[in-house]
């Protein structure tokens, strides 16, 4: 965090404190990495020991569930343990991008993933750092489609920020094209 803001821990803290803090961060990182890697390995092993029809059945169910969850603010990723289709969900950040196509209104928002779950092998991971270790921490865009009627019912006209964002995005036609 400190580095992202262009300052090293050393400039924020004294030399000794900085060394200690860096050591602690390193230890936490190693601990998370070790914990996540052994968890993935354990679930991989359990899954690989199931017979093939059972593996196939679980993979199919996982695909179907991911398909549903996609419409509920989840994002599809490959499970790091069993390679089935699984999903992540997380915290929204930044401003909503609102696009009005005439027939429908599409609201997009960036999400930082913080939770992973796989229906096929039952692996779950929690926290951005765990997801980074598992290589499934890419930020994604949530996209929700509304009919104009649904949308106007949803927006509180007293909510200045949303109304301004809507007006601005529609005025400039400045849409993200993910
Ligand atoms: Zn899995």
What are the strands, taking DSSP E only, across 73-153?
A: 75-78, 85-100, 105-117, 124-126, 140-146
Q: Which residues surround ligand 1, an ion (CB under 5 A)?
A: 79, 81-82, 84, 118, 120-121, 123
Ligand 1 centre distance from Cα of residue 28 (Å): 25
**CA 85 – ligand 1 centroid, Å:** 8
Question: Residues 32-57: pLDDT tens digits?
Answer: 999 999 999 999 999 999 999 999 99
Cα-based distances in Å from 41 to 44, 127, 165: 5, 18, 45
Stated pTM of the model: 0.70
Contact 81, 40 (CB under 8 A): yes
- Between 90 and 158, name the one with better pLDDT: 90
């Amino acid at each position: 965090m400190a580095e992202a803001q262009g300052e090293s821990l050393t400039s924020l803290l004294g030399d000794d404190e900085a060394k200690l803090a860096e050591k602690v961060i390193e230890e936490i990182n190693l601990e998370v990495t070790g914990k996540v890697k052994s968890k993935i390995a354990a679930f991989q092993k359990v899954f690989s020991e199931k017979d093939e029809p059972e593996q196939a059945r679980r993979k199919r169910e996982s695909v179907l569930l991911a398909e549903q969850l996609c419409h509920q603010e989840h994002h599809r990723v490959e499970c790091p343990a069993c390679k089935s289709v699984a999903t992540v969900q997380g915290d929204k950040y930044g401003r909503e991008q609102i696009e009005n196509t005439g027939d429908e209104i599409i609201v997009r928002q960036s999400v930082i993933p913080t939770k992973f779950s796989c229906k096929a092998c039952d692996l779950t991971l929690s926290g951005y750092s765990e997801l980074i270790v598992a290589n499934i921490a890419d930020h994604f865009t949530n996209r929700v489609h509304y009919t104009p009627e649904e949308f106007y019912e949803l927006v509180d006209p007293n909510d200045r920020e949303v109304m301004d964002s809507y007006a601005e995005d529609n005025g400039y036609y400045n849409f993200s094209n993910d």
